[in-house]
Structure formats: structure tokens, C-alpha cells
Amino acid sequence: MAEVLVLVDHVDGKVRKTTSELLTIARRLGEPSAVFVGSGFDAAKETLARFGAEKVYRVESPEVLEHLVVPQAELLAQLVADKAPAAVLVPSSPEGKEIAARLAVKTESGLITDAVDVQAAGDGSGGVATTQSVFAGSYTVSATVTKGTPIVAVKPNSATPEELAGAAADEVLDFTPSDAAKGARITESKPKQATGRPELTEAAIVVSGGRGTAGDFSKVEDFADSLGAAVGASRAAVDAGWYPHTSQVGQTGKQVSPQLYVACGISGAIQHRAGMQTSKTIVAVNKDNEAPIFELVDFGVVGDLFAVLPQATDAIKAAKD
């Protein structure tokens, strides 16, 4: 069975959920082989094996991560040439998409970004069939790669991670980035201040606040914490300085696709929808029953978020006790 390369997304060996999703998808297409760059492999191995990685190609050289994404694209291009994989899967993060684009150019292959589903093509061609959600979620596009090795950047939450033991047999690669790949160097990096909440783009539940919060996100945060959710914000809230720009959901912010998205005091402008419309279940709390957000919700609550959210928080806490 042909290998399917999965670029591992991790921090010092702590493997992110997107990688277990990609390994689950890879098993539909062939035999998953993880590509692990950096330190912490011993910590990562158990997770990679648990989600079905048969092999792990490792590069330990710190040089590869010191120079932004170009060396990783070079490494993957080398693996594509050596292993002739059936496909290469990367997370559809800004970094993942840049790696995928560079890899596509280097290998003269077709690239699909922001896939929300990936399956083996049913025509016996050995190719991949992908689904993308485009134009603010108003169109669903089915696409296949017709040239080279399919390179697919997959959005978080596009698959439910399924455990299936793999050998995770590791092979340390002898890889040195070219001089051309070392044109930019990271001079300093600081860990983000921990909030204790899940990462916005990976969270299964996102609770977002908008201008309707009037700058007080405490009720949104309390409700999010009762659900173990990430907190997002509309651009109006972010531009007003009420919440960090890194939390903005939408066309010019982050794209999220959780199981549950709760919009609180958000009107539902097209630019906001562009970042959350592919959420599986959408709930809105808004005091204006004509707010456009109600056009796309599965459940809507017409009411003041400062009255509704505390009651919902209490009810969830009571249900958990």
C-alpha cells in the first residue's frame, strides 16, 4: 500500500489534535507515515502510534525549524521524490498552507487548501477526492488533484480522530536545508500567554462575543469555560480593543469549523460568517430577532446575552454536577 505523508504539528513533542485527524484521514488513502521535525519525538511517539502512523520520518536538526517554513517544504519535497507517496497531508494553518504551496511548486504537483473532507477517489485511480467550503461557506466544491502528488491542506475538525495502533517505526533522516532555504531566520520566539482554553481553530466548541458585549466578555468567558470552549470575537469587538486580534473570527480573522459555534451579540455580517459558517451546529444569542445571524442558526435565542448566558452557564454546571 502506498504511503501517505502527514506533517506532524507539535510543540516540543506535544502533538496537536490536527495531526491525529490527519492520520485518521491518511488511513483512508494508504499507509500513514508521519514526518516529525524538531525535538520531543519520544513524547510524540505514543500519540503517533495510537492514531495509526506506521512509520515516522524524523529530522532532529534544529536548523530546519530555525528558518521558518522553507526547509520543511524542502524536506517534504525530498521525501516525495524518495518515497513516491499517494498524497501529502498538512494542517490548513497559515504555516501549513505556505509549506504546501512551496511543496506543490517544488514537486510540480496539484494543491488543494482548506479541505473539509478528504476521501479516496471512488474511480479506482488511486487519487484523492476532496471537499472545500468556499465563498463564505455558500458553495461546496468537490476537487481532485490531476497532476503530480496530491498535496492537501486540511482544516482542523475535518475528521474525528480514530485510534488504530500503528508501529510508528522511526527513521532518522539525514537532511540539511539548502542555503537558499535559510534566507530568513527566527531570532526570538515567546510562548503565548496560556489562557487554559483550547486553541481557537482546533476547539470542538467556540463561544464568540461581538459588539453586543459592550466590551464585557466576562459572561461569554464564563459560558465558554462551562463548556470547555475556546473564546472568539467579531471584528467589531476586536477593533474596539475588547479582545485580542488573535481571537477574531471571520474573513480577515481565523476560520473555525467546530462542532458547536455560539455567537453572542454578533449580528452575522457576511465577513463574520466567512469564518464560522462551516461549524456543524450554530447557536446565536441576540436581542434583535431580525439580526441576520438568525438566518443561519440551528438554534436561536432572542434575548439579552447578559441575562441568557449566566442562566445557560448555571444550567450547564448543574447538569455536570
Ligand X SMILES: Cc1cc2nc3c(=O)[nH]c(=O)nc-3n(C[C@H](O)[C@H](O)[C@H](O)COP(=O)(O)OP(=O)(O)OC[C@H]3O[C@@H](n4cnc5c(N)ncnc54)[C@H](O)[C@@H]3O)c2cc1C
Give the binding site for ligand X (CB under 6 A).
210-212, 234-237, 248-253, 265-267, 269, 271-272, 275, 285-288, 291, 304-306
Q: How far is the CB of 143 from ligand X (least distance, A)?
A: 25
The distance of closest approach from Cβ of residue 111 to ligand X in the complex, given in angstroms and rounded to an integer, is: 24
Cell numbers representing residue 314 in the block: 448555571
CB nearer to ligand X: pick between 154 and 237: 237
Q: What is the 3-state secondary structure (H, E, C) of 155-218?
A: CCCCCCCCCCCCCCEEEECCCCCCHHHHCCCCCCCCCCCCCCCCCCCCCCEEEEECHHHCCCCH
Is the Cβ of residue 234 or residue 257 nearer to ligand X in the bound state?
A: 234
For the CB of residue 25, give the shortest distance to ligand X in the complex, in Å: 27
Q: What minimum distance in Å lies between the beta carbon of 83 and ligand X?
A: 39
Contact 74, 106 (CB under 8 A): yes
**CB of residue 112 to ligand X, shortest distance in Å:** 23
Greatest pairwise CA separation for the chain in angstroms:
61
Which lies closer to ligand X via its Cβ, residue 158 or residue 234? 234
Nearer to ligand X, 102 or 219 (CB): 219
Pair type for strands 230-233 and 205-209: parallel
Q: Which is nearer to ligand X, 58 or 219 (CB)?
A: 219
Minimum Å gap between C-beta 244 and ligand X is 14
Nearer to ligand X, 177 or 265 (CB): 265
C-beta closer to ligand X: residue 151 or 309:
309
Q: Which is nearer to ligand X, 182 or 211 (CB)?
A: 211
- Taking the complex as a whole, the smallest distance from the CB of residue 208 to ligand X amounts, in Å, to 8
**Considering Cα of 217, then 218, then 223, then 227, what sign does the dihedral take?**
positive
Q: What cell was used for 31?
A: 499507509
Q: How far apart are CA 273 and CA 291, in angstroms?
A: 13
Query: Which residues have C-beta within 8 Å of that of residue 200, sequence separation ≥ 6?
Result: 206, 230, 231, 232, 246, 247, 249, 254, 256
Residue 283 Cβ vs ligand X, minimum distance, rounded to whole Å: 13
